[in-house]
Structure 1
Amino acid sequence: MQPRKSIVYMVILCFGIKKATALLSFNPEPNQAVNATVEATDVVSTTVSSGVWTLNWLFGSIVVAAVDIDIASGAIIPSIRSTAYTSRLMVKATPVAAGVFTNYRTVLTIKEVRLSDTFAIRAEIDGAPTPNPDSRMLSVKECNDTYQGLTPSNNANYMGTATFKCIDANTVSVLGTCQADATWSISGTCPLVQCNTTAATDSVNGIILTNSALLNTLVNVGAIVNVGCGDGFNGTGDSRTCQADGTWSASITCASPTTQTPTTPSGSSRVFTPFPGGWWWSWLCIFITHCYTHLSCLCL
């Protein structure tokens, strides 16, 4: 008899499961700016044509809102379940026809999201998570990204502003306004940033352009020039890239050859070099000093 009880139990369990598919999404995404309004949408479909379901919205493990759905009659009752979020939440649902539960849409609106709103948002039906996917994490942040390599004057929340000082234009700035997805909306245009190819060279340290025809040429950001070591210098050539701030990327190192310094023989004090063709000078040195060659004499 025991195996028979197990079979009956499994049948009851299968009939108790409510089969559904769901898709959870955010607007905006993937990021949300501080103080922006975010809509979390869950779209559910099922083949079940009767019964009453409750779709819960959760922040972490806390149920903050719910929608009661009577599939047979099409009645919908949304409600906020957490007093801590009463002023910041709103839940709504798309009406459905009696007996129809296809692409059923519920929307949870979260006003003035905060940096502390780092919880996962998920939806569940009668305590069972809705699948595909059943959880999404808010990504609340300030607007703080650079614009064309320029750093904002300050971070900003939704609809806040910051300025970006243009490169090589001391009096020109553009204005950025923080959008709901934590990106900047830019008003104004910075002058085009370019690099002078001559600035990629260094005559003192022997760094030259491999193509000298490019000297004193203005190129746009991202342009690449090849540099090498000039005559009298040793080193390995490489390339340099025009960067967003109008400067060149790291340069190469060129070394000058070691200069050999003539040595003076031990015990000497002075070296004389005779006049060209001055053989008489060399012979004269023989009588008064020790001569190493006929071209140079060492006076003791």
Structure 2
Amino acid sequence: MTPLRLAIVGLGKIARDQHLPSIAAMPAITLVAVADPNATLDGVPHFASLEELLRNGPPIDAVALCTPPLMRGAQAAAALAAGKHVLLEKPPGAVVSAIAPLTEVARASGKTLFATWHARFAPAVEPARAFLAQREIRSVHVIWKEDVRVWHPGQAWIWRPGGFGVFDPGINALSIVTRILPRPFFLTAAELAFPSNCAAPIAADLDFTDAAGLPIRAEFDFRQTGTQSWDIVVETDQGRLTLSAGGAKLIHGDNVLMDEKKVAYPAIYRRFVELITRGESDVDLAPLVHVADAFMLGRRVVVDAFEE
């Protein structure tokens, strides 16, 4: 099989830390270009924008969009219109309504649109899903707390409208919970803490339920120092199931069922190639819808200004 000719658009931290190593390790993909107004990659043709890449760049089959969420919808539309397959970093966009029509564009053009949720590819997620499918679930508690200064240093866009704030990591948790629970759920109440100098929240407390009345509580916080918390605790009729380390570790009661440090992104790119081979798309907007609901329903409180 001829390698997929891929261009990365947006050469920031996530692209350098996760996408580039994963692509380099995959014979099925070759990186042929990057597009970023401020960053370059040695030995790879560079373009200032997606538009310039599509106009003047080398032949490509697909693009991976690693730009801020507010830009991704329009960029995906442009890439699909140019006949390219599209991989969207999470979240797929800042506006739910901008993403859904792209699936029809992809279908009509015969191209693949893949809205990735990298947390779903963590090794313990599918085993947790299988475990919960056979149990009575009594409650779910999500604790997703990290230090924004460590994980998003200098990323001013995250505090602007459409930047998501604490929901940038929080949506990872929602992507896992929407995958492992057997029934859809919906928001009932939320409180969002906005720094006095920011347009996006630094913390959020969310309450959900489903048609059966299952209590689901999520706590997101960007102000965590010391030990970082990426945990989902599920109480069942056969004991407690805990996903920790962002889905890398699975614990049933006191028994560690799985503790792996596999990186999710190679699996994402394998899935992308598989979708292209099958002529399919994969666009699940459920995690993004939950975030939109939180902004719609959430009670807003103002907290201390955020300083980098």
- After TM superposition, the score normalised by the length of structure 1 is 0.24
Task: Tell me which protein shows more helix as a share of its residues.
Answer: 2
Task: Tell me which protein shows more strand as a share of its residues.
Answer: 1
- After TM superposition, the score normalised by the length of structure 2 is 0.24
